[in-house]
């Protein structure tokens, strides 16, 4: 009894911690409502405090997560990877607990689950792993610095800060959700604050940019919604704890007493928005479509001490088994049931993958769907550009990594080359177009398109079997590239904001000579420019290098194109640097150097881009990499 109570408080702690991470900014947005309307400084400090507190909670979560990894790690290897600490394993354990109400599970597992709308099987499920934590911390840092960068906003300050904090809440919630429905809710919650932030505080053409942003994003989320609906229609009864199926059968009998027990059990269907479960279905479908259904195996009780490794030893010589079906399921019936569903058809897989891909491609943005980005960036105020580039684009990459690939692995594998090609096209196209820009912000917007192309290429570099570690490198690189781009791109948008405050234009041809009046500023921006360019020793290099390394094994042609594109990157960035900072220009001679507040924003970015470049492994990889390894270890053996 005491045990049960203790364990339930443990679960509460996870719930509270993760909910706090997601909702602290929103709570502070509510607090802002209470600040008297004249007290602008108080509002700003409230917002700073709120975002800083969120960052603190994020760092605490990092410590917890590291402890979790450490507690399970095998001391003999350097890696902290252990199957039990994978997000899906933890979420599964949690699901088993919530299905029965009792049971042993990993306490402090950083996964929380509560029923929200049981009518549609929607759970309020939050969880964190290395992949999401990287982006959560990035979000928290960028939002904190964006609030500091917003010090000069005067009109409707309260509304502005409330919207900004709501936006942060939406992004954090999306990164933490374990439930597709919840993810979609958070994903859409971000839409409106962004619309108003661009539409109300933007530049001259703000209405056009705001509506364009919303329409493109809605287009993407429509695809996403359609995919979610399709996935929810899948009957996942063989992939969830069987107690749940028995409950459904009992419900059916209550509705229609004429049913026999056996018939009810046979008719019972379970639908879910839980993407861990849906991922299992996706993997089973991949095996089935590749005619390897004999590898689909039933999970055994954990107490028996059998895990995948033991099972592999038992079945020497037979194909490697994949434990997908839930404990106590009749394997033959389950496979027959799976094959009878429309989810197990190539069309379904292709269509759902395409919908998810397009949905997230809009956010990344991937080339034919990138058109909203330059306009949104040009019109948005500086801090919003920072968030847009630093955080919102990452949601696209995160979505591809977390949803599109694991939920439809078969289609992803079939289309991997095309996805990689789209990534490379983005890299090259973004760089070429960036070279032709006169507007500083537009140049950076296209550089974002180019840099995010590496993320797509890294994810798509599907190499299975013995080459799986190449794919692991590439995915690690993609994750790191998101982090690095988040740091450098938001920093560079702030760099533009600083000079815009002084010159009141962003025309690259009319700048020049900033090095003389603003030495500190120029020095800091030089570091950021070089970081963005991918100079070794700075953060941009690590991600690109890893991606290209992994992509080489996948397809050397794509890798070569990606490498050559770095020359273009260097060209447009150096050219821009030259046009802004070098030379002599009387128009800029009287500009004051950066203020203390501006340094407070720039310095963390500069330090981060150096530190991430020098200690990528210590700072990020050691705790992020196990999750990526887990991710790859699930998908790579399916091929």
Partner 1 sequence: MTPLSNQAFVDHLTASVQFVLPEVALVGVACLLFLVAALRCSRPLAMVVALLGVVGAGVIAALVPEPVGRFEPSLAPIDPTGAASFVRWLALVAAAVYVLLGWADTRTDTPAEYHACLLVAAAGVSLVGRANDLVSLFLALEMLSIPTYVLLYLPSRTRAGQESAMKYFLLSVLSSAVLLFGFSYLYGLAGSTNLHVVVSSLAAAAPHKDLDPAVSPLAAVAMVLVIAGLGFRVAAVPFHFYAPDVYEGGPTGVVAQLAFLPKVAGFVALARLLGVMSAHGGGLPYDTAHTLIPLTLWVVAVVTMSFGNLLALLQDNLKRLFAYSGIAHGGYMLIGVLVACTAPPASADQSGSDALLFYLLAYGLMTVGAFAVLAHLSGPDRHVETVDDLAGLGKTNPLAAAALAVCLFSLIGLPLTAGFVGKLQLFLAAFQVPTDTKMKSLFQVLTVIAVVNAAVSAVYYLRILGVLYLRAPFKPAQPTRTSPQLVAAVACAAATLVLGVYPQPFAEQTRKAAPVVAAR
CA distances from 590 to 192, 495, 549 (A): 40, 18, 47
Omega before 365 cis (within 30°)? yes
- Which of 20, 31, 52, 191 is in the footprint of partner 1 by CB under 8 A? 191
> Which residues on adjacent β-strands are paired with residue 274?
179
Q: Which two three-digit tokens encode residue 50?
A: 């709120």
114-143: contacts with partner 1 (CB under 8 A): 116-120
CB of 273 to partner 1, least distance (A): 10
Cα 508 to the center of its chain, rounded Å: 33
Number of shown-chain residues binding partner 1 (CB under 8 A): 42
Q: Which two three-digit tokens encode residue 271?
A: 């639908």
CB of 388 to partner 1, least distance (A): 18
Q: Is 370 exposed, middle or buried (0-12, 13-18, 19+ CB in 10 A)?
A: buried
Q: Binding string to partner 1 for residues 284 to 323, with x set by CB under 8 A, is what?
A: ----------------------------------------
Residue 200 binding partner 1, by CB under 8 A: yes
- Which of 27, 52, 62, 189 is in the footprint of partner 1 by CB under 8 A? 189
- Which of 5, 36, 37, 255 is in the footprint of partner 1 by CB under 8 A? 255
DSSP 538: S
CB of 189 to partner 1, least distance (A): 7
Per-residue three-class SS string for 35-76: CCCCCHHHHHHHHHHHHHHHHHHHHHHHHHHHHHHHHHCCCC
Residue 515 binding partner 1, by CB under 8 A: no
Part of the chain binding partner 1 (CB under 8 A), chosen from 196-204, 300-308, 451-459, 621-629: 196-204
How far apart (Å, rounded) are the C-alpha atoms in residues 36 and 42?
Answer: 9
Residues 335, 293 contacting (CB under 8 angstroms): yes
Cβ closest to partner 1, residue 209 vs residue 424: 209
Sign of the torsion formed by the C-alpha atoms of 23, 24, 25 and 31? positive
User: Which residue carries 């107690």 as its tokens?
Assistant: 243
CB of 532 to partner 1, least distance (A): 33
Cβ closest to partner 1, residue 206 vs residue 280: 206
- Which of 42, 267, 564, 584 is in the footprint of partner 1 by CB under 8 A? 267
Part of the chain binding partner 1 (CB under 8 A), chosen from 182-190, 321-329, 442-450, 531-539: 182-190
Neighbours of 312 (CB within 10 A): 12
Part of the chain binding partner 1 (CB under 8 A), chosen from 62-70, 268-276, 364-372, 565-573: 268-276
Cβ closest to partner 1, residue 306 vs residue 341: 341
Cβ closest to partner 1, residue 189 vs residue 435: 189
How far apart (Å, rounded) are the C-alpha atoms in residues 500 and 586?
Answer: 16
How far apart (Å, rounded) are the C-alpha atoms in residues 516 and 519?
Answer: 6
CB of 127 to partner 1, least distance (A): 20
Buried-state track 332-369, b at ≥16 Cβ within 10 A, e below 16: eebbebbeeeebbeeebbebbbbbbbbbbbbbbbbbeb
How far apart (Å, rounded) are the C-alpha atoms in residues 160 and 394?
Answer: 22
Residue 218 binding partner 1, by CB under 8 A: yes
Q: Which two three-digit tokens encode residue 577?
A: 């640097």
Cβ closest to partner 1, residue 270 vs residue 460: 270
Phi then psi for residue 115, to 5 deg, are -65, 140
Part of the chain binding partner 1 (CB under 8 A), chosen from 37-45, 111-119, 516-524, 527-535: 111-119
322-341: contacts with partner 1 (CB under 8 A): 340-341
CB of 389 to partner 1, least distance (A): 23
Cβ closest to partner 1, residue 368 vs residue 536: 368
- Which of 259, 298, 526, 600 is in the footprint of partner 1 by CB under 8 A? 259
- Which of 20, 31, 52, 185 is in the footprint of partner 1 by CB under 8 A? 185
- What DSSP element (H or E) covers 87? helix 87-100
Helix orientation angle between 519-533 and 539-554, rounded to the nearest 10 degrees: 10
Kind of pairing between the strands at 296-298 and 322-325: parallel
Residues 135, 394 contacting (CB under 8 angstroms): yes
- Which of 207, 254, 505, 597 is in the footprint of partner 1 by CB under 8 A? 207
Residues 470, 518 contacting (CB under 8 angstroms): no
- Which of 158, 206, 402, 451 is in the footprint of partner 1 by CB under 8 A? 206
CB of 7 to partner 1, least distance (A): 26
Cβ closest to partner 1, residue 221 vs residue 522: 221
Q: What is the DSSP string of 453-480?
A: HHHHHHHH----GGGHHHHHHHHHHHHH
- What DSSP element (H or E) covers 445? helix 440-460
Cβ closest to partner 1, residue 271 vs residue 370: 271
- Which of 16, 59, 60, 229 is in the footprint of partner 1 by CB under 8 A? 229
- Which of 268, 325, 416, 457 is in the footprint of partner 1 by CB under 8 A? 268
CB of 211 to partner 1, least distance (A): 6
Q: What is the DSSP string of 180-233?
A: HHHHHHHHHHTHHHHHHHHHHHS-TTHHHHHHHHHHHHHHHHHHHHHHHHHHHT
CB of 260 to partner 1, least distance (A): 12
Part of the chain binding partner 1 (CB under 8 A), chosen from 91-99, 263-271, 330-338, 513-521: 263-271
Residues 150, 143 contacting (CB under 8 angstroms): no
Kind of pairing between the strands at 122-127 and 111-117: antiparallel
Cβ closest to partner 1, residue 356 vs residue 427: 356
Cβ closest to partner 1, residue 122 vs residue 135: 122
CB of 349 to partner 1, least distance (A): 14
338-377: contacts with partner 1 (CB under 8 A): 340-342
- Which of 15, 27, 52, 230 is in the footprint of partner 1 by CB under 8 A? 230
Binding site for partner 1 (CB under 8 A): 116-120, 184-185, 188-189, 191-192, 195-196, 199-200, 206-207, 210-211, 214-215, 218-219, 222, 225-226, 229-230, 232-233, 248, 252, 255-256, 259, 267-269, 271, 340-342
């Amino acid at each position: 009894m005491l045990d049960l109570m203790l364990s339930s408080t443990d679960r509460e702690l996870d719930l509270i911690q993760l909910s706090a991470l997601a909702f602290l900014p929103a709570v502070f947005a509510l607090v802002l409502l209470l600040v008297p309307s004249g007290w602008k400084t108080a509002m700003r400090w409230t917002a700073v405090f709120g975002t800083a507190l969120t960052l603190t909670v994020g760092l605490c979560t990092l410590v917890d997560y590291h402890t979790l990894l450490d507690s399970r790690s095998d001391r003999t290897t350097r890696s902290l990877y252990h199957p039990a600490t994978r997000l899906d394993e933890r979420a599964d354990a949690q699901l088993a607990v919530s299905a029965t109400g009792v049971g042993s599970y990993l306490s402090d597992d950083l996964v929380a689950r509560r029923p929200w709308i049981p009518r549609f099987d929607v759970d309020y499920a939050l969880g964190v792993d290395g992949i999401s934590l990287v982006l959560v911390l990035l979000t928290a840092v960028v939002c904190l610095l964006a609030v500091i960068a917003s010090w000069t906003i005067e009109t409707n300050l309260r509304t502005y800060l409330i919207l900004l904090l709501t936006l942060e809440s939406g992004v954090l919630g999306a990164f933490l959700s374990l439930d597709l429905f919840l993810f979609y809710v958070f994903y859409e919650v971000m839409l409106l604050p962004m619309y108003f932030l661009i539409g109300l505080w933007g530049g001259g053409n703000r209405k056009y940019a705001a509506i364009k942003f919303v329409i493109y994003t809605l287009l993407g989320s429509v695809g996403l919604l359609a995919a979610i609906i399709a996935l929810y229609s899948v009957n996942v009864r063989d992939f969830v704890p069987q107690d749940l199926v028995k409950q459904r059968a009992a419900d059916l009998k209550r509705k229609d007493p004429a049913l026999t027990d056996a018939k009810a059990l046979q008719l019972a269907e379970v639908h879910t928005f839980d993407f861990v479960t849906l991922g299992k279905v996706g993997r089973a479908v991949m095996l089935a479509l590749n005619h390897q259904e004999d590898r689909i195996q039933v999970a055994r009780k954990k107490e028996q001490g059998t895990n995948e490794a033991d099972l592999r030893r038992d079945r020497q010589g037979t194909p490697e088994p994949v434990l997908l079906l839930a404990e106590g399921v009749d394997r033959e019936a389950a496979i027959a049931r799976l094959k009878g569903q429309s989810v197990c058809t190539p069309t379904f897989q292709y269509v759902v993958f395409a919908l998810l891909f397009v949905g997230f491609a809009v956010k990344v943005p991937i080339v034919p769907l990138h058109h909203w980005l330059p306009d949104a960036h040009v019109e948005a105020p500086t801090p919003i550009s920072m968030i847009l580039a630093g955080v919102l684009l990452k949601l696209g990459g995160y979505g591809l990594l977390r949803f599109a690939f694991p939920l439809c692995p078969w289609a992803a594998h079939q289309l991997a080359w095309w996805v990689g090609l789209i990534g490379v096209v983005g890299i090259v196209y973004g760089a070429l177009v960036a070279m032709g820009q006169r507007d500083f912000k537009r140049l950076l917007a296209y550089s974002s398109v180019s840099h995010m192309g590496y993320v797509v290429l890294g994810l798509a570099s599907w190499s299975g079997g013995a080459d799986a570690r190449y794919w692991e490198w590439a995915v690690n690189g993609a994750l790191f590239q998101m982090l690095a781009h988040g740091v450098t791109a938001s920093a560079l948008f702030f760099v533009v904001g600083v000079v815009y405050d002084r010159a009141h234009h962003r025309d690259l041809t009319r700048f020049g000579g900033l090095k003389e009046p603003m030495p500190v500023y120029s020095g800091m921006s030089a570091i950021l420019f070089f970081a963005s360019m991918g100079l070794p020793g700075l953060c941009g290099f690590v991600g690109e290098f890893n991606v290209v390394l992994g992509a080489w094994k996948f397809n050397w042609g794509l890798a070569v194109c990606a490498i050559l594109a770095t020359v273009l990157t260097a060209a447009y960035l150096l050219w821009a640097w030259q046009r802004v900072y070098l030379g002599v220009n009387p128009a800029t001679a009287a500009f004051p150097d950066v203020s203390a507040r501006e340094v407070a924003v720039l310095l963390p970015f500069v330090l981060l881009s150096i530190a991430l470049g020098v200690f990528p492994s210590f700072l990020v990889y050691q705790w992020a990499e196990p999750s990526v390894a887990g991710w790859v270890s699930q998908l790579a053996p399916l091929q």
